Chains A and B, each alone.
Chain A
């Protein structure tokens, strides 16, 4: 399967600032990447589907102006949390779609965001 990395693994920021999280597919060209959010003791929730070279598709209830997604290359997608608030504190996980099948995804290790 594909190797997926995320950077940073942990980030702490002040309220009102913006934070960028990178998701890289290290050995696989990823046309499609996904961004998930996980609240404590809750399941992973799909936030958006990121397609290389086009606009991301956001799930219902996810603010696209707050969670900016850029997928400029086949190996990199970024999630920027703009004007962060404490309620944005969460675990963010990206995944890469493998082999043209959306039911085959390879997951990154996640990024823990804490907004003070």
Chain B
């Protein structure tokens, strides 16, 4: 079965602090993995994706994620949070021609 679990529906960090959003997955085949960001009143935007190859993937806005097969994880990180990073983040898995999404994590950035 395919599934995605995001630990923590809400994460709060101070501006300038490390951002870590957790994502674990279950997949019967090697997955494609994605992180999307959603700002208020906007559609989901692709931050980054892993398909094959290098396991550390860099995305837009300074975000990166590392695919760890042994841990079935694809955590999203950013070294230094900015106020503009406040949004909801969705981890997703793609296989068998379908997306499977996590339930989302709302990131709050405190000044």
A residues neighboring B (CB under 8 Å): 1, 4, 9, 36, 41-46, 93, 95, 102-103, 105-110
Q: How large is the interface on B (under 10, 10 to 19, 20 to 34, 35 or more residues)?
A: 20 to 34
A-side contacts of B41, CB under 8 Å: 9, 109
B residues neighboring A (CB under 8 Å): 4, 9, 32, 34, 36, 41-46, 49, 51, 90, 94, 97-104
Contact present for B94 and A107 (CB under 8 Å): no
B-side contacts of A9, CB under 8 Å: 41
From B43, B49, B94, B100, give the contact of A109 (CB < 8 A): B43
> Could you list 5 A-B pairs, sorted by A, with CB under 8 Å?
A36-B101, A41-B104, A43-B101, A44-B99, A95-B43
Contact present for A110 and B43 (CB under 8 Å): yes
With A42-B103, A43-B102, A44-B90 as given contacts, are A103 and B43 in contact (CB-CB < 8 Å)?
Answer: no
From B32, B42, B100, give the contact of A43 (CB < 8 A): B100
Contact present for A105 and B103 (CB under 8 Å): no
